[in-house]
Structure 1
Amino acid sequence: MSETAQISTPYPAHLDADFPPLKNDLILRVARGEDVERIPVWIMRQAGRYLPEFREERSKHDFFTICRTPELACLVTLQPIDRYEGLLDASIIFSDILVVPQALGLEVQMLPAKGPHFPEPLVDPSHLARLKKDVNVDAELRYVFEAITLTRQKLDGRVPLFGFVGAPWTLMAYMIEGGGSKTLSKAKAWLGQWPEESKELLQRVTDVVVDFLVGQAKAGAQLLQVFDSWAGELSPAQFNEFSLPYIQQIPTRVRAALREIDPTLAKIPMVVFARGAHYALESLSTPEIGYDIISLDWTMDPVASRKRVGDNVSLQGNADPSLLYAPKETIKKEVAVMLEKFGTKRRYIANLGHGMHPDHDPEHLRAFLEAIRDVSSERNS
C-alpha cells in the first residue's frame, strides 16, 4: 500500500477496552454531576514552556515538529503528569489550536518570543479560495490522533486525557490577523464589511473542527474542550451572530457522528471556554447546546456564575494565572477562598482562569495543586 493510501485510510475507533483501565475518574464523575470525595484539578497549558524538561525538548525540535511527531507529543504531554505525580487529575494532549488552519491549507509558524505567525493571512474574501474545500482530517491531522492513542497507552490509566480544539471565531481571527493582536481590528472588520463571507469562513472552520473532535474521541480522548480564547473581544450581539451559532453546532454534531460509530463514544464530556464572554454564560449552559462543563476566566465571580448557570452543568476554573507569581502562603490562602466560592462536593473542577505563563515557577504550580488537594480534603473530611 502506498504512503498516500495509508494516510487516507480512516483512523480506527478505539474504545476504553483498548486501553489500560482508568484509575482516576474524578473529572469524568464531575462532568456527570456526581458527588466526589475531593475536587479534581488540571491546568490549561500544563505541558509547555514553564517546564525546564519541555524547554529541553524545544531546544532540539521546532514547535510544530513536536506537535506532528506522536512520540514527542506524548512525551511532553506526560511531563507534568510525571513531575506532579498524584496532583493532577487529567492530562491534555500536547498540540495547538492552529493545526486546524494548517489543515485548511494556511502556513503557520511559531516564532521565538513572538508566538504564532501566518506569513500569508486572509486579507479579504477573495482569499477564501486559498483554503482547501474538503479537508480530510484523517490525513491532515492523523498525527494528533496517533499522539492521543499513544498517550492513552502510556498514561496507563493514571488520569483521563483531554483532546481540544479552537473555537471557529478564535481560529478565524488568527487566520485573518496573522497572529496575536490586541484589537483584532482586521478580523472584526471582516464581520462588518463582509458578514456573509465571514459566516462562510466560520462554517468551513466549524466543519473541520467537528471532524477533528470526532477523530480525537475515536483516537482515545476522554474529554473534549473548545477554546474560544477571543470570545470576549466580541460585543454580545457579535458573539450571538458570529460565535455562538458555530459553538453550539459542535456538541450536537460531534455526538451524532460518534453515536454512529459506537454509542459509548457519544457520552464523551465536552467543555467550552469562552474567555471574557461574561454575557454568554446562560447561552452556553443551556441543555440544548449540550456542553457538560463551562470554564470560567479569572474575572468571573464563581458564586454569581453558579447562580446564572444553575446546577445542570459543571464549572471549571478560575484562578488568575498571575496568582502563581505570589508566595506559596498566598497561593494557599487564595485557593481556599476560590474553593469556598465554588464549593467542594460536586459540579466543580479546579483550574486556572487561563493558561500557564512561560515564566511561571513550576514549584509554585506545585504549591497551587497541593493547596487544592489539602483544602479540598480538609473540607470533605
Structure 2
Amino acid sequence: MTEFPPLKNDLILRAARGEKVERPPMWIMRQAGRYLPEYHEVKGGRDFFETCRDAEIASEITIQPIDHFDGLIDAAIIFSDILVIPQAMGMDVQMIDKVGPRFTDPLRVPEDLEKLSKDVNVLKELDWAFKSITLTRKKLEGRVPLLGFCGAPWTLMVYMIEGGGSKMFRFAKEWLFKYPKQSHELLQRITDVAMEFLAQQVVAGAQMLQVFESWGGELGPDDFKEFSLPYLRQISSKLPPRLKELGVKEDIPMTVFAKGSWYALEDLCESGYQCVSLDWSYDPAAAVELSNGRVTLQGNLDPGVMYGSEETITKKVEAMIKGFGGGKEHYIINFGHGTHPFMDPEKIRHFLKECHRIGAQ
C-alpha cells in the first residue's frame, strides 16, 4: 500500500460514520468542471476522455475547486466519468462537445453481449484511473479526503443499450421487459467490474466512495427492486471483504445516489451504504424522519438555486440545513445533482460560505 500524507480534515469521514460533528461537511457533485475558468485553461483542446486518462491533468482538475474555494470544501472527488466501466468492458465511447456521450456500437439485442469482454482485467484496463487517484491523493497533501466513484449497474446498462442519454429509454426498457434474463446477465457483469473498480480505487488512495444510479428514477418501484437494488446491495456487501483481501484495514464509507428514486428511500437506507444522497425532490425533514439515524443523508439543494440572488441562496441554505436537523449529525451538504457549466463560481462561493456560517450555528 502506498504511503500518503496524514489527513488534516476528516470531517466528512466522521459525518459519514454517523459521528456528531462541529458543522456539516460539504462538497458538490461535479465540483471540478466546466463552470471554473481554470478548468478550460488546463483542459485546452484535449478530448474529455483524453483529459481523464492523463494523471497529471486529471489530478490538477480534481484539486482546482479545493484551491478555488480554499477552506470551504471538505472533499475532493477524482475527475473521471461513470462511462469508463463500459470502456473497460470493450465498448467505444466518445464524449461529443455540447451533445454528451455517444457509444459507436450500442447493445441492441442479447446477441450483442458477445461484443463485451468476458474477463475484464480492471487493473489493466483502468490503470490510468488508479494512477490519477494515487497522484491526486499525494498532491492533496491531506488537505481533504479523496472520493472515488463509479456508475451503478442499471445506469451503465442504460447507456450501453441506448448509446447515450435518452428521454424515452426505448431500447433499455425493451431489454428489461422483453429480455429480462439477459438484462440480469448484463447487470451482473457490470456489477462484477464495478465492485472491483471501486476496490482498486481504494487501494490506489480513495478514502470514500459514491455509486451513481443516475437513471434510477426511470424505474418504477417494483422494477427498481428487481433491476437496481439487488446489484447496489451486491456492491455494498461484497466490497468490504474484497478490501480486506487487498490489505485495506480501514473502513471505507460508501454513498449511494439514486436520482429520482424517492419511493426507494426505505430500501436504500437498508442497502448497506453508510450514506444515502438525495436529489432535490425529497423533503429533508421527511427523509430525516424515515431514515431515523440509520444512515447519513447527503444533499439536496437544487443546483438551479445558483442562478438566483445571494439572498435567495442564503434563504434556501437555511431551509435545507434546518430541514436536515441542523446538520451536526448524519448529514453531508451537497447539491441534489451536479453543477452546470453556466454557473457563476462566485455564487457557489456564497453558497459554501453560507453553509459554513449556518452549519456552525
Report the TM-score, using the length of structure 1 for normalisation.
Answer: 0.93
Residue aligned with 1:57, SS: helix
Matched residue type, 1:327: S
Of residues 321, 339, 357, the one that matches 1:374 is 357
Shift of residue 189, structure 1, vs aligned partner: 1.1
Matched residue type, 1:351: N
RMSD between superposed Cα atoms in Å? 0.9
Q: Distance in 2 between matches of 1:307 and 1:332?
A: 24
Q: After superposition, give the CA deviation of every residue in 1:15-64 in whole Å (9 maximum; x if it has no partner).
A: xxx11111100000001111111111000000011111112223331100
Aligned ranges 1:301-380 → 2 under 5 Å: 301-343=283-325, 344-377=327-360, 379=361
Which residue number corresponds to residue 56 of structure 1?
A: 41
Of residues 178, 181, 190, the one that matches 2:163 is 178
Which residue number corresponds to residue 126 of structure 1?
A: 111
Q: Distance in 1 between matches of 2:203 and 2:311?
A: 43
Matched residue type, 1:186: F
Of residues 284, 287, 308, the one that matches 2:268 is 284
Which residue number corresponds to residue 24 of structure 1?
A: 9
Q: Distance in 1 between matches of 2:264 and 2:323?
A: 21
Matched residue type, 2:265: L
Shift of residue 261, structure 1, vs aligned partner: 2.4
Alignment partner of 1:117 is 2:99: no
Which residue number corresponds to residue 10 of structure 1?
A: none
Kept in 1, the 8 Å contact 2:203–2:248? The answer is: no
Alignment partner of 1:164 is 2:149: yes
Shift of residue 309, structure 1, vs aligned partner: 1.5
Report the TM-score, using the length of structure 2 for normalisation.
Answer: 0.98
Matched residue type, 2:238: R
Alignment partner of 1:294 is 2:276: yes
Q: Distance in 2 between matches of 1:142 and 1:172?
A: 22
Kept in 1, the 8 Å contact 2:43–2:57? The answer is: no
Q: Distance in 2 between matches of 1:113 and 1:60?
A: 14
Shift of residue 279, structure 1, vs aligned partner: 1.1
Matched residue type, 1:57: V
Which residue number corresponds to residue 126 of structure 2?
A: 141
Shift of residue 262, structure 1, vs aligned partner: 2.5
Q: After superposition, give the CA deviation of every residue in 1:221-275 in whole Å (9 maximum; x if it has no partner).
A: 000000000000001111111111101000111111111223524x100000000
Matched residue type, 1:340: K
Shift of residue 182, structure 1, vs aligned partner: 1.1
Alignment partner of 1:269 is 2:269: no
Q: Distance in 2 between matches of 1:68 and 1:58?
A: 12
Residue aligned with 2:255, SS: strand
Of residues 79, 99, 103, the one that matches 2:84 is 99
Give structure 1 stretches of 5+ with no counterpart. Answer: 1-12
Q: Percent identity?
A: 56
Q: Distance in 2 between matches of 1:367 and 1:276?
A: 27
